[in-house]
């Protein structure tokens, strides 16, 4: 097995002959890295206008998810003051 960084991050060890669990772990790693989506997208030609629309949508989704995570973390913090004291 190569010690190259490209291989180290996507290496899964099979323990006790449990190939199914290792396959699930590998699929999860590839999904998080976006490799499966890239392969699926490159299977067919994507028009430049559609690629721009997709990239813009992905950027908007990243911004939305980051903002939503920030708001949830703000509301879920444990030491926050009561917004309506006395109610």
Contacts of 27 (CB under 8 A, 6+ apart): 36
Contact 22, 14 (CB under 8 A): yes
* Confidence at 10, pLDDT banded by 50, 70, 90: confident
For the chain, the domains span 11-44, 46-79
pTM, rounded to two decimals: 0.59
Q: What is the mean pLDDT of residues 15-37?
A: 89
Kindly give, in sequence order, each residue whose CB lies less than 8 Å from that of residue 35, ignoring residues fewer than 6 positions away.
10
Tell me the three state secondary structure of residue 77.
coil
């Amino acid at each position: 097995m190569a010690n190259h960084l490209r291989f180290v991050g996507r290496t899964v060890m099979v323990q006790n002959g449990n190939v199914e669990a290792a396959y699930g772990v590998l699929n999860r790693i590839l999904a998080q890295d976006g490799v499966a989506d890239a392969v699926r997208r490159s299977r067919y030609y994507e028009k430049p206008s559609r690629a721009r629309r997709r990239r813009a949508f992905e950027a908007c989704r990243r911004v939305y998810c980051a903002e939503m995570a920030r708001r949830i973390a703000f509301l879920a913090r444990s030491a926050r003051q009561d917004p309506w004291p006395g109610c």
